[in-house]
């Protein structure tokens, strides 16, 4: 049986081969009616787009790689959604995988990405990993790249400052704990730096403990139990993620219900945080927006438009009940703060 070609589809639909090609590649400016007619002809004739042949012609696979530390983390799940949204709109598929923050797994994952191959790569560097050796546009996200190549990150110092300043200034908190985040990871270190900058403006305010651990549901449970099993006296906790804040608030409610509640702030700004009881105050970092910006940077780079350095993501505070406030509002970073650049 003769294989149906794109020329057959074009003739059946009454369009040029170039127009039919735009339809299958989801590019170009064609009317909805033309696209519908070509797709109907493809279905009628049983045409199957040979993506492998197209890859050989264009030297592109139509794939973008997204390598995250843990896709089960709601922060990274939201980021992946934003990334895929932009990639799909440009006609690209997204290959997503997790490294679980293991350098050896990252090396294997990146090797697979090269073999497919992907046309561009966004990755969250695993702790202790080497910079990836790839010949396609590459962007580090959430953490700095190991070789100084382009990165898209949050203003972490400002984020830590914003949360601590609110708890100290509005609620009078003086004994702070930072809870969670991998040991040695720069984002957590920078948030603590911002926290300490904020506390320097309040006499008697101090950081009494930093407890590191995995940024996951189970990690949050373990961290909460570790904190509450100590004799550390605290009245404010900055949690490395909203998920850790959920675990801590649950533990405080069940294990210390008789004591004065501590002010708790998470990081991420997940939509689910508004549904928790109490609703979680969070430093919003826009994971979906970060995903969109990462995908767009790769697409621009493929067209030869690389911008470096990238402007960092600006955090803002979503104020809810877990910090001690009673009304829900969104506070942006205040101009003229004492935050060091």
Q: Tell whether 142 and 181 lie within a shared domain.
A: no
The rounded distance, in Å, linking the Cα atoms of 209 and 177 is 5
Pair (200, 259) in one structural domain: yes
End-to-end CA distance of the chain: 68
Distance CA 272, CA 333 (A): 22
Flag whether 168 is in a domain. yes
Q: Is residue 255 part of a domain?
A: yes
Q: Phi and psi at residue 120, in whole multiples of 5°?
A: -155, 160
Is 326 part of any domain?
yes
Residue 114 lies in a domain: yes
Is residue 323, in this structure, part of any structural domain at all? yes
Distance in angstroms (rounded) separating the CA atoms of residues 159 and 290: 15
The answer to whether residues 324 and 205 belong to one domain is yes
pLDDT at 99: 92
Judge whether 55 lies within some domain. Answer: no
Residues 106 and 71 in one domain: yes
Distances (CA, A) of 164 to 111, 186, 197, 283, 286: 41, 18, 9, 10, 19
Q: What pTM was estimated for this model as a whole?
A: 0.75
Per-residue pLDDT of the chain (341 residues; tens, 9 = 90+): 466 787 888 899 998 877 887 787 666 678 888 889 988 988 888 876 655 555 544 456 788 999 999 988 889 999 999 999 999 888 888 999 999 989 999 889 888 888 778 899 999 988 888 777 777 888 999 888 777 778 898 899 999 999 999 999 999 999 999 999 888 888 899 999 999 999 999 999 999 999 999 888 899 999 999 999 998 999 999 999 999 999 999 999 888 766 667 899 999 988 889 888 889 999 998 889 999 999 999 989 888 777 666 888 889 999 999 999 875 555 544 434 544 33
Look-up: residue for tokens 């989801």? Answer: 26
Q: Does the residue 103 lie in any domain?
A: yes
Q: Which pLDDT score, from 0 to 100, does residue 129 have?
A: 81
Residues 42 and 187 occupy one common structural domain: no
Give the whole-angstrom CA distance, residue 51 versus residue 99.
Answer: 28
**Secondary structure element (H or E) that encloses residue 319, with its range:** strand 316-319
Instruction: List the structure tokens of 52.
Output: 């492998």
Kindly report the CATH number assigned to the domain that includes residue 322.
Answer: 3.40.50.2300
Is 340 a domain residue? Answer: no
Answer yes or no: are the C-beta atoms of 164 and 199 closer than 8 Å: yes
Same domain, 14 and 133: no
Looking at the fold, whether 125 and 83 belong to one and the same domain comes out as yes
Give the chain's domain count.
3
| One domain, residues 238 and 275 | yes
Structure tokens at 137: 């546009």
Q: Looking at the structure, do residues 326 and 226 belong to the same domain, yes or no?
A: yes
Identify whether residues 210 and 71 lie together within a single domain.
Answer: no
Domain that holds residue 251: 156-285+315-331
Do residue 45 and residue 161 come from a single domain?
A: no
Q: Identify whether residues 135 and 171 lie together within a single domain.
A: no
């Amino acid at each position: 049986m003769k294989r149906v070609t794109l020329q057959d589809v074009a003739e059946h639909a009454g369009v040029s081969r170039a127009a039919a090609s735009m339809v299958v590649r989801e590019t170009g400016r064609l009317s909805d009616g033309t696209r519908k007619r070509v797709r109907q002809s493809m279905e009628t004739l049983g045409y199957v787009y040979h993506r492998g042949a197209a890859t050989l012609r264009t030297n592109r696979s139509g794939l973008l790689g997204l390598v995250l530390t843990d896709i089960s983390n709601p922060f990274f799940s939201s980021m992946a959604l934003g990334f895929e949204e932009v990639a799909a709109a440009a006609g690209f598929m997204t290959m997503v995988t997790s490294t679980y923050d293991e350098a050896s797994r990252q090396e294997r994952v990146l090797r697979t990405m090269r073999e497919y191959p992907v046309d561009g790569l966004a990755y969250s560097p695993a702790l202790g990993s080497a910079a990836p050796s790839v010949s396609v546009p590459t962007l580090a996200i959430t953490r700095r790249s190991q070789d100084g190549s382009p990165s898209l990150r949050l203003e972490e110092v400002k984020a830590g400052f914003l949360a601590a300043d609110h708890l100290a200034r509005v609620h009078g908190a003086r004994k702070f704990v930072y809870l969670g985040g991998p040991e040695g990871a720069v984002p957590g270190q920078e948030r603590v730096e911002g926290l300490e900058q904020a506390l320097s403006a309040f006499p008697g305010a101090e950081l009494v403990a930093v407890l590191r651990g995995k940024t996951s549901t189970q990690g949050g449970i373990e961290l909460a139990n570790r904190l509450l099993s100590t004799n550390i006296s605290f009245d404010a906790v900055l949690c490395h993620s909203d998920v850790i804040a959920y675990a801590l608030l649950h533990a405080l409610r069940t294990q210390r219900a008789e004591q004065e509640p501590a002010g708790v702030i998470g990081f991420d700004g997940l939509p689910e945080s508004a549904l928790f009881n109490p609703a979680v105050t969070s430093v919003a970092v826009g994971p979906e927006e970060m995903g969109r910006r990462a995908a767009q940077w790769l697409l621009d780079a493929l067209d030869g438009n690389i911008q470096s350095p990238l402007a960092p993501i600006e955090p803002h505070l979503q104020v809810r009940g877990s910090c001690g406030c009673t009304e829900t509002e969104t506070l942006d970073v205040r101009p003229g703060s004492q935050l060091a650049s």
